[in-house]
Amino acid sequence: MQTLTLSSNGRNGRLLDPKMSARLRAFRFLSDRYAQRERPSYAVEFILFVLIVLTAAWPMFSLAHAMSSLAHGMSLVR
């Protein structure tokens, strides 16, 4: 099993070594881009987190509303 490090220097200092797995390349890219920056922008990360949560929750609320409207339309709820 390969050990994941936060160093971007793969073999011969290349980040995108063709023999390196895609998961390892993605990990190194993300760690270099986000984990090792000096001052992370928490506001931007929070906004992205909220956007992801809303995107995931929106279909659930939409489906619940549609089912409620259907039940009222069919007079299943008094």
**Does residue 51 sit in the same domain as residue 36?**
no
Q: What value does the mean pLDDT take over residues 63-76?
A: 84
Contacts of 67 by beta carbon, 8 Å cutoff, 6+ apart: none
Tens digit of each residue's pLDDT (9 = 90 or more) over 10-55: 444 555 566 778 888 888 888 777 766 666 678 888 999 999 999 9
**Does residue 3 sit in the same domain as residue 27?**
yes
**Does residue 47 sit in the same domain as residue 21?**
no
**Does residue 52 sit in the same domain as residue 24?**
no
Return the pLDDT at 78.
58
How far apart, in Å, are the Cα atoms of 5 and each of 21, 39, 71?
14, 21, 55
**Does residue 32 sit in the same domain as residue 13?**
yes
Q: What share of the chain is helix, strand, coil (3-state, %, to 5)?
A: 65, 0, 35
Which structural domain range is residue 64 located in? Answer: 41-78
**Does residue 18 sit in the same domain as residue 50?**
no
Contacts of 32 by beta carbon, 8 Å cutoff, 6+ apart: 6, 8, 15
**Does residue 22 sit in the same domain as residue 54?**
no
The answer to whether the CB of 52 falls within 8 A of the CB of 46 is no
Number of independent structural domains in the chain:
2
